[in-house]
Amino acid sequence: MARPPRAVFVTLAAGAVLAGLVSGAQAVPPSSQSDTASQSDTTASAALAVLPPATTEGAAPTAAGVQKALQPVLRDPSLGKHYGAYVYDASRGKAVYSVGNAKPFVPASTMKLLTTVAALETLGPDHWFTTKTVLAANGTLILVGGGDPLLTIKRSSDPLDFPPRATLQDLATSTARALKAEGVLSVTLGYDATLFEGPAANAKWEPKYVTEGIAARTSALWVNEGRVSPGMAKRATSPAQAAATSFATLLQAAGIKVARSVKPTTASSSANNVAEVRSASIGEIVEYVNLHSDNDGAEVLLRHVGIATENGGSYAGGLTGLRATLTKLGVNVSKARLEDGSGLSRTNQVPLDVLAGALRVAAARPELRHLISGLPVAGFTGSLEERFAGPGTAAGTGLVRAKTGTLTSVHSLAGLVRDRTGTLLVFVVATDSAPPDKALAARAALDRAAATLANCGCAA
């Protein structure tokens, strides 16, 4: 039977995948009837289930069936010598197929799956971060960073921009209003970015990542992820100082005179709150980070995992908290080497079943659903928008949801798809030995592998 038109795929894919997240939900009786309803009607209505009984969908895939489907694709020479695939039947809760997994892989940006699932677990999807101003006892106004990775200077003019972001503009307006109400028309401004500690740049990154703007110096206070200009690669040497300088300009435009010197300080817990803005929720931030493969957002979330697990706000503390959280979730990281939150480090070494583990637990636990709902859709959104356009990939367009990973010679896809019979599969396909001049061919091969699973019954 012909598939629906391509434009319908996104809606179908989202519904199909997310339906798997509630397969174990219990039936809930309808709300109570009005006082005028008859007792018999009420009893009959109460007997109806909102959801039908959970059933296992699709035919059970077999290792032989998956191997038969994937082997021709995985033989593509563009994948190099170290390639692998891992497939897990999420409809039945069991691993089905694994090849090339004896040695861990450099995960590249699929590492973000581990960081974001840990953030959802430790902080909760509804948690937010607060950027605020406080008045110190000596009258200094202090801008306090709360580790909002998406804080920006002003609101976007694009009504479709998601998620809505906290802005320094709103904070300056609220702060000026509060100060004027107290008769304060001039201030000395300081800033506090001490929520995070330790080196601002990861020692395992290539030095050029920071100097070329591939990654920012991670800070608990920044705007536009430390960019000197919105949308540009170059980052500020001190993202917190740059944010405070921008805030001073906004305060002055709002009618508050600000002393020229803006210096770092530490706000006392007894300082009086003046105004605050709240970030998007953790769930929304996780969706953004995975959809756009946002390195900076992932590194900020890693620091928050460290704080939430009482290991501190350094990247080392974050990694300790990350390992502990993944272990708590039932993901075995004993053979994994985790070096950062974004996957920029080539010293990360992660077995494919660990990457699949993040997706596996998210598919089984509704409170972690944002890990799934934020995954790019093949051929339509995020880092997969321009993918799945070549030969042999049409079956996956709009149906595959997956996180991409890309470094020189490293290419990976980790995500979910329902096969032709309706079985929900978690999959990871990867290489970290692709010839550098075969990057496009390697990515196309991984796209074909994912599309093959979408078109596969894999039962024999």
In eight-state DSSP terms, residue 31 is P
Last residue of a domain, one of 258, 280, 302: 280
* Residue with token string 């199909």: 16
* Tokens matching residue 290: 């995975």
Residues 6+ away with beta carbon under 8 Å from 360: 88, 90, 331, 426
Last residue of a domain, one of 280, 308, 339: 280
Rounded CA-CA distance 96/98 in Å is: 7
Rounded CA-CA distance 398/296 in Å is: 27
Verify that 95 and 227 share a domain, yes or no. Answer: no
β partners of residue 205 = none
- Number of domain units in the chain: 2
Rounded CA-CA distance 196/198 in Å is: 7
Amino acid in the structure at residue 200: A
* Residues spanned by the domain of 150: 130-280
Rounded CA-CA distance 309/304 in Å is: 8
Q: Model's pTM, two decimal places?
A: 0.88
> How many Cβ atoms sit within 10 Å of the Cβ of residue 349?
18
Verify that 206 and 237 share a domain, yes or no. Answer: yes
Mind listing the pLDDT tens digit for each residue in 126-169? 999 999 999 999 999 999 999 999 999 998 777 777 899 999 99
Mean pLDDT by 10 residues, the chain (460 residues): 39 45 34 37 43 65 95 96 97 95 96 98 98 95 98 83 93 98 96 97 93 94 92 90 97 96 94 97 98 97 98 97 98 97 98 98 95 96 95 96 98 96 96 96 97 91
Task: Identify whether the C-beta of residue 131 lies closer than 8 Å to the C-beta of residue 151.
Answer: yes
- Give the residue from 387, 364, 362 showing the smallest Cα distance to 376: 387
Burial of 444 (0-12, 13-18, 19+ CB in 10 A): buried
Mind listing the pLDDT tens digit for each residue in 104-114? 999 999 999 99
Rounded CA-CA distance 130/145 in Å is: 7
In eight-state DSSP terms, residue 373 is H
Write the CATH number for 193.
3.50.80.20
Verify that 197 and 321 share a domain, yes or no. Answer: no
Write the CATH number for 311.
3.40.710.10
Verify that 365 and 378 share a domain, yes or no. Answer: yes
Parallel/antiparallel/unpaired status of strands 94-99 and 130-135: unpaired
**H or E stretch covering 324:** helix 315-328
Rounded CA-CA distance 86/241 in Å is: 45
Verify that 272 and 356 share a domain, yes or no. Answer: no
